Structure 1
Amino acid sequence: MTLEPHQPIRLTQQVKAGGCASKLPAGSLRQVLSALPAQTSPDLVVGFETSDDAGIFRIGPKQALVQTIDFFTPLVDDPFTFGQIAATNALSDVYAMGGRPLTALAVVCFPQDSDLGILEQIMRGGLSKMSEANCIVVGGHSVRDVEMKFGYAVTGLIDPERVYTNAGAVPGDTLILTKPIGTGVITTALKQGKSEAVWVDHAIRSMTTLNGTASALAIACSGVHAITDITGFGLMGHAREMALGSGVTLEIETAHLPLLDGALSAVRLEAIPGGLLANRDFAECLVQDSVGSQIPDDLRALLYDPQTSGGLLISVARENAPGLLASFQREGVPAAVIGCVSGASTPGAHAPAIILR
């Protein structure tokens, strides 16, 4: 009798949706959070009211905690790589606020009868990225679950007088994005068996690159007014939060958007994650095309693509933007200017939060 060769488990086939595409829709989450009572504390610097990247709590005159949690289902098949992506993504929210990660707690959901060697590799991958970030994993929690999920709760330190939120963009600012977009459609293509290896390789390289360097360069640059990271709600979802939180209108030059190799091809192959459709339902009502613009449908779809471990969207004074961009280029950060902050919005005027060109 000839034994069949052992077939490795494809993690992406064990879950319905992968990575940040598995998050609850932004509209559903906003509906619940808006119904909760307000928290009042003189030491709460940033809470969940503005849908920011992390919470910040003052513990001293010049020191505050920055805290976040992020975990999700597999979006790649290799367990070690999945762990790396989950860790990089969880650290990103601390970097987006301008903080320095210190400790992390692992969050594990794992099928009871699955191979524990897979879980070991996932956790090894995560630990490798936490070590790269000089963030110590001090413990965690696990539960049995039909679908595996992994991530971290991360705690860092930040100066409460130097916090970068998504609500500080100023008219006249330049918008810089530090990573290309397209991870959602590419990993969906992988799950559907439609992707090319080079697409996945480039997406993995992006998703396992820490935002620490980009964050450090941004906070060292004068004139930076707002930062947010682009994750599950897509570029338009997070840009929407920046525009509304800052009371401004963002103008996006769609032809200047950095795209991952294969992202447009994945859209054309109809590798559309459910999160993309949910993001479009949430944000498109506040997005308007400029007069005469002709935006291809495949590129328009990528504007709402849920990103996993995406880049930072930075609003910086126009005069400081060239210097910041040059510093990114020197350090190998694939940043690009994608638009500007055009002006203050008028409350109650139903003006668009985002204009596409």
Structure 2
Amino acid sequence: MTDYKLTEYSHKAGCGCKIAPADLEKILSQRSGTSFKELLVGNNSNDDAAVWDLGTGMSVINTVDFFMPIVNDAYDFGRIASANAISDIYAMGGKPIFANALLGWPMETLPLELAGKVMDGARKICEDAGIPIAGGHSIDSKEPLFGLTVTGLVRTENLKRNNTPEIGDVLILTKQLGTGILGTAIKRKAAKEEHAKAAIDSMCKLNSVGAALSQITEVHALTDVTGFGLLGHLMELCSNQVSAEIVWSQVPSFPFLDEYLALNIMPDNTTRNWNSHELKVDGLIDLKAFQVLNDPQTSGGLLISVAPSKVNEVMALLNADGLNHAAIIGAILPKQSKTVLIK
């Protein structure tokens, strides 16, 4: 088979495909419709998934996520897209129970065997998560697309939200930043093999520790860092009259990013992310900090807001799960003139 490179067949990559936050807000500004008391989390917020109260002490979580390739290998594309989609269930504190696949494939351009490899990668990650791919839907599209709809369960009292931090909470990030930069380097054929592998390994790591974090009452808020970058997801975290202070030197990122940033390799959405919230940020004077904190992540880590008394317990959980780059990056403050302050 010809050595096809999937990133050559798409104009965007991974969660960098997302519509910019400011544009999405315009699209969703006319939110309306019938209200349902069982719908605990819906489109009236910017949370990671929808949640439906079953009235039994349990709730159903449902999410959907799909995008164009961020890597060239079809198997890895399937793995990354699936880990990214399942992450939303974990970010709500839930456990996934099954998935459906969403496939768009350029039938006249790419062979069906490659689509099969995408599905193989997806099945591998779903097996790792302990869930089946129960069904799905496919279309003939101009660019390759793949993702999942995922259904999960959570004990209603353990449900975690992305906008409920408490003043004094400590902020923890579980994965290194920089997958958007590496994805762009891959697309431009500039990425070193060992660097690409490090990014792929990170993107394929399931955020399954979110289910364990749901058992800790003092974990007040939880989300995953994806296409809006760390700053964008901090904006959502602080949407209820609080602010966050971030210590830039403590934010984990891939150690080799300087090599690519020196070549001006970064996704288009980095600037678009910044344009959506620049008026709400203070202290962003370092160029690398701008490039990394706004970098659109694909299958990024969890952002945890936890009471100081439980930081050691949370860090122990993360280390036991192999999240060796997890780091304390800041804290939640009373509402300031800016939403995010960078030191």
TM-score bin (small chain): over 0.9
1:98-124 deviation digits (Å, cap 9, x = unpaired)? 011011110010012220000000000
Please tell me whether the aligned partners of residues 159 and 214 of structure 2 are also in contact (alpha carbons under 8 angstroms). no
Q: Greater shift after overlay, 146-155 or 268-277?
A: 268-277
Are residues 1:326 and 2:333 paired?
A: no
Residue 248 of structure 1 aligns with which residue?
A: 242
Identify the match of residue 268 of structure 1 among 262, 265, 268.
Answer: 262
- Helix, strand or coil: the match of 1:161? helix
Contact 1:186/1:262 (8 A) holds in 2: no
Distance (Å, rounded) in 2 between the aligned partners of 1:180 and 1:217: 21
Q: Across the two proteins, how many residue pairs are aligned to each other?
A: 341
- Confirm or deny that 1:48 pairs with 2:53: no
Identity %: 35
TM-score (norm 2): 0.96
Answer yes or no: is the 8 Å Cα contact 2:93–2:212 preserved in 1: no
Correspondence for 1:143 among 139, 142, 157: 139
Rounded Cα–Cα distance in structure 1 between residues aligned with 2:244 and 2:273: 17
Indicate whether 1:281 and 2:278 are aligned.
no
Q: How does 1:93-112 map to 2 (within 5 A)?
A: 93-112=88-107
Q: Distance in 2 between matches of 1:217 and 1:156?
A: 14
Q: Is the 8 A contact 2:158 2:215 kept in 1?
A: no
Question: What letter corresponds to residue 271 of structure 1 in structure 2?
Answer: I
- Rounded to whole Å, the distance in 2 between the matches of 1:7 and 1:224 is 49
1:151-209 deviation line (CA, Å, top 9, x unaligned): 00001111222210011100000000010100001110111122111211110010000
Structure 1 residue 261, shift from structure 2 partner:
3.2
Query: How far does residue 15 in structure 1 lie from its aligned partner after superposition?
Result: 0.7
How many angstroms does 1:39 deviate by?
4.0
Greater Rg over alpha carbons, structure: 1
Correspondence for 2:253: 259
Task: State the AA in 1 paired with 2:136.
Answer: G
Equivalent position of 2:84 in the other structure: 89
1:308 corresponds to: 298
- The aligned amino acid for 1:102 is I
Check the 8 A contact 2:95/2:211 in 1, yes or no.
no
Whole-angstrom distance in 2 between the partners of 1:216 and 1:280: 31
Aligned-partner Cα distance in 2 for 1:222–1:26: 30
Provide the rounded CA distance (Å) in 1 between the counterparts of 2:36 and 2:107.
41
> Would the aligned equivalents of 1:84 and 1:208 in 2 still touch at CA under 8 Å?
yes
1:176 aligns with 2:172: yes
Show structure 2 runs of 5+ residues with no match.
Answer: none
Pick one of 324, 331, 336 that aligns with 1:340: 331
- In the TM superposition, 1:16-27 aligns within 5 A as 16-27=11-22
Residue 10 in 1 paired to residue 5 in 2? yes
Give the match's secondary structure for 1:60.
coil
After TM superposition, the runs of 4+ consecutive aligned structure 1 residues lying more than 6 A away are: none
Would you say the 8 A contact 2:238–2:339 is kept in 1?
Answer: yes
Q: Give the corresponding residue for 1:153.
A: 149
Q: What does residue 288 of structure 2 align with?
A: 298
Mean CA deviation greater in 59-68 or 305-314? 59-68
TM-score between both structures, scaled by the size of structure 1? 0.93
- The answer to whether the 8 Å contact 1:179/1:312 transfers is yes
Query: What 5-or-longer segments of structure 1 have no aligned partner?
Result: 1-5, 346-350
Indicate conservation of the 8 Å contact 1:230/1:312, yes or no.
Answer: yes
Alignment of 1:203-214 (within 5 A): 203-212=199-208, 214=209
Residues 1:354 and 2:340 are matched in the alignment: yes
Letter in 1 for 2:149: A
